Amino acid sequence: MNKLGPEMGLPPIKTRGGPDLNVRDTGATLLFVVFKWLPQMAAVVGIGILCGLGYLTLVRGNLFQANAKLYVRVGVDQTPSPLLGSDRNVTFLAQTRGAVQSEMDLLRNEVLVSRLIADLNLGAPEARPEPTGLYGRLKRLGSDVYQAARDGADAILIMVGLKTPLSRSAAVSQVFAQSLILDNAPGSDVISVSLRWPNEAQAVLLLDRFLQIYTNFRSAVFEGGGEIDFLSTKRDAAKADLEAVDAEMAVYEREHDIRNTASRAPLLEADLVDAQRSLERQTLELDFARRRFERLGRVLGRGAANQQREPVGLGTFPPNSPALSMAPSMVTLLGERERLLVNNTANAPEVREVEAKLGALTVVLLRQLEAEVQDLVHVEATARERVDKVATALREFQDSAAGWKSLERRRELAEARYRDAEKRLGEARDIAALRNARLSNVVVVQPAAAEGVPIGLRKLPMLGIIALCSGVLASGWALVREIFDGRLYRGEAAAAELGLPLAGEVPERDGLLQVWSRGDRAAPEARVALDRLVVTVTERLRGDRTAVLAIAAAEADEGTSTIALALAYGMARRGRQAVRLIAGSTSQALLEHARDLGVSLHPLPGSPDLPPGLVLTAVGDHLVVGTWAEPEAAATFLREGDATCPSLRGDARIILIDLPPLSGEAEAPLCASRADATLLVVRAGWHAAARHIAALESLKWLGAEPIGFVLNRVRGFVPARLERAR
């Protein structure tokens, strides 16, 4: 068992070869895929060619093209207008285009196609002649089968809502519109009209009849004289509507006394603002007057309590206040009181006489202030009533103005309709002068030929195209099969690529594999393969002492847990003494399966030399499973390499260690280097990747040469039953 210091790290990952080798490996892989699926690809190509031959010989016929030419002799200024009589709802021309483009738009009119289908009864089922000869009958049968398949596919699309159902007339109209080809060279007044149709005689007939319907329709449109009468009637109706709205608007103005809302509304708003400002001013004066009255009352109260008079400040009264008329008398009395206080006390008769006079003047002043407050209250009420009256008048005006504005909008719309009708009538009158000239503007200079021209791809080139498409389809088939199959190489190729012996190959299986179950059909083959793997590993680890086997893989999804569980369970079934399975997620999965199946579980007693966090549980008689209380404990176990401690070995002959991925955990390669042997697990189809080679080289660099590898094709492993080993 190789012992390396814990301080030793992993070497840098090595990859084989350079860019040329990668390109060569990719090319070899592609060639292997091609040759692997070559029979199926050949079958796909053969089926495609046979279907193409059947379609070309039995279903597809030749298309025939009928050609004609039209000469347009009008200029851009003579372009017909779309505002013409009873057909003005069909927009078939554009005023801003040239005359040639306008005639091409008229040829694409659906009304012409509808008339053609109605005249020739193309909407009715086609009466086909009875075929003669064996080839004719086969061709009729192939055509009927192809048409039935198309009808079935259309029915399914219509049922799921992916296609709109069409009547036969609508379908024929759509096909005719797609088959009609209009072409015009830049700067030329000649329009080339072509029609492609399966039947030669029918192609010529359809094109000739279509041009006749076009010329007749055009003549009927330009010769019609009802457009001026129609527009005149519309103009008169618009004028009557305008007059009715004007009369209704005049009646409304008289009833609500509204003439011009734009001039009256600002006046009412200005009156409302002025009334509100006057109310605010009167409220402010009333507030000041009340404050002066309250202040004078407080002064009189303090004077009565203190038996002396305090001076009243006259600067707080407004200039127009009647209280200012008593200012000279109060000033004189105050001066005399101050003069007497110089030589007399406050209780002297002279001083008390002066203060009595001041008190009398103050009472008179208080009465005057009270009267002033009452006057201001009345003035404020008057201002508030004015604000209410102006606001009410403004609201009434706004309510009546809303109805007036609605009438005004109706009048504007009626006036716009009248002006538009007047304008259109003038345009129609201007156009009427060009009618006679327009009847001969377009001339058919080349009618449809008596015979159609066969067109379309020849059958031999089309067969080559079908073969090429079949080859592309076959390549796609091989690629899809390879992606979903997941098998690129066999076990021998993997052994040659990795340079390791193949210890075992688990058969292919999608989903969980019930290995020891009688109900699973793939179980016998998998059971034999796993038994062989158990025998191989047991022979390689033969000896008296306990052997430690590390099961490793490059990635987490290679299947190490599956193989570890299979080996542990298989060795227990073959009578190996107390096989131990520790680390990884396999231990928990095995305990859960054993608990669900009712197998006896016995926790083993702990020991001081056991790694911290490791709990041993006996499953049955010959299998011991170690589980970790915390993930950090498992990482510590891997770093320190305590797989050979006496309590962990017990009486076991083999200890299996399910390692984490070699490319993801640095402790995994070190733990593998301390084991007696290492078994590399490779997922089928991924073994040629560079990560497998890098993981293998890292193990070899640490001195851990794997005893072999297991090619795993099973997605998951579940033991059906954990019976007691005898």
Q: What is the rounded CA–CA span in Å between residue 192 and residue 176?
A: 16
For residue 472, tell me if it sits in a domain: no
- Same domain for 181 and 122: yes
For residue 331 the two structure tokens come to: 């000033």
> CB–CB of 434/272 below 8 Å?
no
Give bridge partners of residue 709 from the DSSP assignment. Answer: 502, 680
- Where does the pLDDT of residue 381 fall: very low under 50, low under 70, confident under 90, or very high at 90 and above? confident
Q: What is the rounded CA–CA span in Å between residue 527 and residue 702?
A: 34
For residue 556, tell me if it sits in a domain: yes
Please state which of the ranges 262-276, 315-329, 389-403 shows the lowest mean pLDDT.
315-329
Stretch 466-470: mean pLDDT, rounded?
89
| DSSP structure string for 195-210 | EEESSHHHHHHHHHHH
- Same domain for 193 and 88: yes
**Strand stretches in 488-578, DSSP E:** 502-505, 509-514, 547-552
Stretch 706-716: mean pLDDT, rounded?
72
Stretch 554-574: mean pLDDT, rounded?
71
Give the tens place of pLDDT for each residue, 234-263: 888 888 888 888 887 777 767 666 665 555
Query: Quick one: pLDDT at residue 195?
Result: 87
For residue 577, tell me if it sits in a domain: yes
Give the tens place of pLDDT for each residue, 607-642: 777 777 777 887 766 677 777 766 666 666 766 655
- Same domain for 526 and 397: no
Share of the chain above pLDDT 70, in %: 55
DSSP letter for 10, please: P
- Same domain for 450 and 402: no
Give the torsion through C-alpha atoms of 325, 326, 332, 335, to 10 deg: -110
DSSP letter for 348, please: S
Q: What is the rounded CA–CA span in Å between residue 36 and residue 713?
A: 18
SS3 349: helix
Query: Quick one: pLDDT at residue 403?
Result: 63
Q: What is the rounded CA–CA span in Å between residue 174 and residue 187?
A: 30
For residue 16, tell me if it sits in a domain: no
Please state which of the ranges 75-89, 270-284, 419-433, 691-705 shows the lowest mean pLDDT.
75-89
DSSP letter for 155, please: H
> How far from 614 is each of 159, 561, 565, 582, 659, CA to CA, in Å?
63, 18, 18, 9, 15
For residue 475 the two structure tokens come to: 């390549």
Q: What is the 3-state secondary structure (H, E, C) of 68-88?
A: EEEEECCCHHHCCCCCCHHHC
Cα torsion 403, 405, 408, 414: sign: negative
For residue 543, tell me if it sits in a domain: yes
Phi, psi of 628 (to 5 degrees): -105, 140
For residue 633 the two structure tokens come to: 């404990």
Phi, psi of 169 (to 5 degrees): -65, -45
- Same domain for 439 and 417: no
Question: CB atoms < 10 A from the CB of 638, how many?
Answer: 25
For residue 400 the two structure tokens come to: 């009546």
Q: What is the rounded CA–CA span in Å between residue 247 and residue 243?
A: 6
Share of the chain above pLDDT 90, in %: 0
> CB–CB of 516/527 below 8 Å?
yes
- Same domain for 709 and 685: yes
Domain end marker among 421, 446, 475: 421
> CB–CB of 506/530 below 8 Å?
yes
Percentages helix, strand, coil for the chain, rounded to the nearest 5? 60, 10, 30
| Contacts of residue 328, Cβ cutoff 8 Å, sequence gap at least 6 | none
Rg (CA), the chain: 55
For residue 231 the two structure tokens come to: 């527009």
Nearest by Cα to 532 from 560, 504, 508: 504
For residue 634 the two structure tokens come to: 């498992």
- Where does the pLDDT of residue 95 fall: very low under 50, low under 70, confident under 90, or very high at 90 and above? very low
Nearest by Cα to 498 from 707, 656, 345: 707
- Same domain for 166 and 36: yes
**Polymer length in residues for the chain:** 726
Query: Quick one: pLDDT at residue 314?
Result: 46
Please, how many CA atoms are within 13 Å of residue 590, restricted to the half-sphere of its CB? 33
Question: CB atoms < 10 A from the CB of 212, how many?
Answer: 14
Helix axes 491-498, 690-701, angle to 10 degrees: 50
Give the tens place of pLDDT for each residue, 285-303: 777 777 766 766 665 555 5
> CB–CB of 702/4 below 8 Å?
yes
Cα torsion 567, 573, 576, 581: sign: positive
Cβ burial, residue 165 (10 Å; 0-12/13-18/19+): exposed
Domain housing 446: 27-227+433-464
Give bridge partners of residue 181 from the DSSP assignment. Answer: 194
For residue 689, tell me if it sits in a domain: yes
For residue 389 the two structure tokens come to: 């009256």
Give bridge partners of residue 66 from the DSSP assignment. Answer: 195
For residue 15, tell me if it sits in a domain: no
- Same domain for 460 and 386: no
| Contacts of residue 155, Cβ cutoff 8 Å, sequence gap at least 6 | none
- Same domain for 643 and 517: yes
Domain end marker among 395, 421, 447: 421
SS3 96: coil
Which of 128 and 109 is assigned the larger pLDDT? 109
Give bridge partners of residue 712 from the DSSP assignment. Answer: 683
Give the torsion through C-alpha atoms of 416, 417, 419, 420, to 10 deg: 110
Specify the CATH number for the domain of residue 638.
Answer: 3.40.50.300
- Same domain for 305 and 223: no
Quote the number of domains for the chain: 3
> CB–CB of 652/577 below 8 Å?
yes
Q: What is the rounded CA–CA span in Å between residue 361 and residue 323?
A: 10
Q: What is the pTM of this model?
A: 0.37
For residue 162, pLDDT beyond 60: yes
Question: Rounded to a whole number, what is the distance in angstroms from the first to the last CA of the chain?
Answer: 32
- Same domain for 452 and 381: no
- Where does the pLDDT of residue 47 fall: very low under 50, low under 70, confident under 90, or very high at 90 and above? very high
- Where does the pLDDT of residue 7 fall: very low under 50, low under 70, confident under 90, or very high at 90 and above? very low
Q: What is the rounded CA–CA span in Å between residue 55 and residue 35?
A: 30
- Same domain for 440 and 417: no
| DSSP structure string for 450-505 | SSPEEES--HHHHHHHHHHHHHHHHHHHHHHHHHHH---S-HHHHHHHHTS-EEEE
Domain end marker among 387, 421, 455: 421
Nearest by Cα to 601 from 588, 610, 583: 588
Q: What is the rounded CA–CA span in Å between residue 298 and residue 312?
A: 11
Strands 677-683 and 654-658: unpaired
Q: What is the rounded CA–CA span in Å between residue 519 and residue 115?
A: 71
| Contacts of residue 279, Cβ cutoff 8 Å, sequence gap at least 6 | 380, 383, 384, 386, 387
For residue 22, tell me if it sits in a domain: no
62-92 burial, b for 16+ CB within 10 Å, e for fewer? ebbbbbbebebebeeeebbeeebbebbeeeb
Question: CB atoms < 10 A from the CB of 719, how many?
Answer: 23
Nearest by Cα to 599 from 560, 629, 627, 573: 573
Query: Quick one: pLDDT at residue 121?
Result: 78
Highest mean pLDDT among 198-207, 280-289, 536-545: 198-207
> CB–CB of 498/692 below 8 Å?
yes
Cα torsion 432, 433, 436, 439: sign: negative
Q: What is the rounded CA–CA span in Å between residue 662 and residue 691?
A: 9
Q: What is the rounded CA–CA span in Å between residue 534 and residue 574?
A: 9
What mean pLDDT, rounded, does the chain reach?
70
